[in-house]
Structure 1
Amino acid sequence: MKRPPRLYFAFRSPFSWMALRRLEELYPQAADTVEFRPFWEPDEDLLARLRAGGGEFPYTPMSKAKHLYILYDTKRLAASLGYTMSWPVDVDPWWEVPHLAWLYARRQGREREFYRLVTEARWERGENVCDPALVRELAAEAGLDGDAAASAASDPDLREEALAALHDLYQDDVFGVPYFRVGRHRFWGLDRLAAFLDVLDPREGDAARDGDARELPALARVPVPAGAGVPDAVPLDSDSAGGCG
């Protein structure tokens, strides 16, 4: 059976937030035709189990230069799309909290409502979506059991589902978000949204280009300052600003 189009998202990534929001504006049927899948940095337990099963998490640490570029540039990109944005501050985030809660919401058929509430909290109000108390509130607002959603990151059954999801993204060669895949076609980054829509529906791809007639800027390739805390031996991602690796 032919696999449906897949779209990998992350609550951490502003480019993922903007790309999915723009996708649903241009192509409202995306929720029914595209399979949404989560991408997040696994905790030590899930990462060890992923590697034990022959997988790996294909993540390249972000240089300080790229992080600063994204920090300064994403508000401008959001404004160009007409979105209001508040940059959140992440302190020791446990990304399993919102992403496994999303897996729980998907089991209940409420993943779209929950996704919307989490992204609004994070990117429009700058709230900490890794806080179980906040996840509890958002889940309840989405019509879910708030306690079940807030504790999803520790639920053994959901952690097994999360492990399978990590294996899937490894098999799909996903290295960052937003990441789109349709058959053999693969696209990474906010600036590849029109190309993704071209494959789904060429008319929508043209509409995306007509509505977004602007170039997303290339990443400023500036050196990392001395003492930036980035180990010299660590390979650093210096690719397009249209996605988060």
Structure 2
Amino acid sequence: MIAVRCYADPVSPYAWLGLRDLDRIEAAGAHIVMVPVLFAGLLSAHANIGPAEVEAKRRYLFRDVMREAARRGLPFAGPPGHPFNPLTALRMCTAVNEDAARRRLLVAFTCATWERGENLMDDATLVRLADEAGQDGTALLAAARTPTIKQALADATAQAAAEGVFGVPTFRIGDDAALFWGADRIDALLWRLQGNGIDEAVLREFVGRAPLAQRKR
């Protein structure tokens, strides 16, 4: 069974939609390895800003997310405010060692905020949700405050950025160089899992071409 790494942060509504499709990936014969990462850290690593930080994109983003949720029959409530700080939630997920349990917790956190409007910046809420996901929420909250777990999340985010991950959700099949970014790329991921692919030599040649114009910054 091939491993598919899923890089995710509950702050992203597209991560929510992507996590709702994990069963489709597993049905294709893959094993999900959940990698909690801090989306804000990825943005900083690539000198980027989030879509919610651009007003026109923000208006589009939430209309698009609500439209897709309605199309899938998913409830949408949204967090109490957005963006919010997901650090403690991510650190609690990082403190879970077993893949399936880490996945359940991150999915639980993400669905709770986007489908039921839970506040992931509230410690009591995090503990309750972790308990409901079969974990010891109090112990995970304590672990999330340790230097070891804080550094582990920072390291995972830095490693993801070094591998080319710039947004969430992002999926990677085994050690394949190809990344699949976004909740709308699940079908492309499944296509790749079936053994399909592009001509990598053509890609390398094309991206190696010098630009013909540059935008002033």
TM-score by length of 2: 0.76
Q: What corresponds to 1:232 in structure 2?
A: none
**In the TM superposition, what is the alpha-carbon distance from 1:98 to its structure 2 partner?**
0.6
Confirm or deny that 1:199 pairs with 2:192.
yes
Task: Give percent identity, aligned residues only.
Answer: 31
Cα distance in 2 for residues equivalent to 1:196 and 1:20: 14
Where 1:12 maps in the other structure, the secondary structure is coil
Query: Do the aligned residues in 1 keep the contact of 2:11 with 2:85 (CA within 8 Å)?
Result: no
Structure 1, gaps ≥5 residues long: 51-55, 204-234, 236-245
Map Cα deviations across residues 171-197 of structure 1 (whole Å, 9 max, x no partner): 211111111223021221122111111
Q: What corresponds to 1:230 in structure 2?
A: none
Structure 2, gaps ≥5 residues long: 197-216
Cα distance in 2 for residues equivalent to 1:31 and 1:125: 31
Where 1:34 maps in the other structure, the secondary structure is strand
Equivalent of residue 171 in structure 2, options 157, 175, 180? 180
Q: Is the alpha carbon distance of 1:17 and 1:109 closer, same or farther for their aligned partners in structure 2, counting shifts above 3 Å?
A: closer
Query: Do the aligned residues in 1 keep the contact of 2:76 with 2:116 (CA within 8 Å)?
Result: yes
Cα distance in 1 for residues equivalent to 2:123 and 2:171: 29
Q: How many residues align?
A: 190
Map Cα deviations across residues 126-158 of structure 1 (whole Å, 9 max, x no partner): 111121111111112223222222234421111
**In the TM superposition, what is the alpha-carbon distance from 1:113 to its structure 2 partner?**
2.6
Query: Do the aligned residues in 1 keep the contact of 2:128 with 2:137 (CA within 8 Å)?
Result: yes
Q: Is the alpha carbon distance of 1:140 and 1:34 closer, same or farther for their aligned partners in structure 2, counting shifts above 3 Å?
A: closer
Cα distance in 1 for residues equivalent to 2:72 and 2:195: 21
Q: What corresponds to 2:36 in structure 1?
A: 38
TM-score by length of 1: 0.68
Cα distance in 2 for residues equivalent to 1:162 and 1:136: 19
Kindly report which structure 2 residues correspond to 1:1-245, keeping only aligned pairs within 5 A, or say none.
4-24=3-23, 26-29=24-27, 33-41=31-39, 57-58=45-46, 60-61=48-49, 62=51, 63-90=54-81, 93-106=84-97, 110-182=101-173, 183-201=176-194
Q: What corresponds to 1:221 in structure 2?
A: none
If each structure's helix is expressed as a fraction of its own residues, which one has the higher value?
A: 2
